[in-house]
Amino acid sequence: MAVLNIVKEGDPILRKTSRPVEEITPRILTLLDDMVETMHAAKGCGLAAVQVGVLRRVVVIEDEDGTLYELINPRIVARAGTQEESEGCLSIPGVYGITRRPRAVTVRALDRHGNEVEYTGKGLLARAFCHELDHLDGTLFIDKMLRRLGRDEVEVDE
């Protein structure tokens, strides 16, 4: 496994649409492993492949309980409610803002073994699913930000 370089805002790749994974190859499995290691090293809770320079529809997310979600070709199949909470992004360090997202979402994807999986996330996990899947379509959280937060309004572990 390897810690990969995280692409930062301003790099045009972040605005591109990621391509579907046609076949789960050893290269895709290595990408998943490297993305998890990179996410942990950066102290993030989610990472999309485009953020490490790979235009594939692959996302990793780890929830507050330590559950790891490895999602290949994910899509949101249901949404419910709304929430307005703070977000940040590993590709836009130091910027935080309030976004409006669904309170709950259900995501369908393939796992690393090619099995179809479905997960429902609420609260922070719902935001993470939406945030990371937005990356796959070239959308950043700042595009949906209602209000930027000042440094004194953000709880950051540094």
> Which positions are catalytic?
132
Please tell me the distance from the alpha carbon of residue 39 to that of residue 136, in angstroms, as a whole number. Answer: 16
Alpha helices in the chain (DSSP H): 26-41, 124-136
Cα 65 from chain centroid (whole Å): 17
Please tell me the distance from the alpha carbon of residue 129 to that of residue 105, in angstroms, as a whole number. Answer: 8
- Take residue 145 and report the two structure tokens written for it: 């930000």
Note whether 86 and 45 are within 8 A (CB): no
Please tell me the distance from the alpha carbon of residue 49 to that of residue 57, in angstroms, as a whole number. Answer: 7
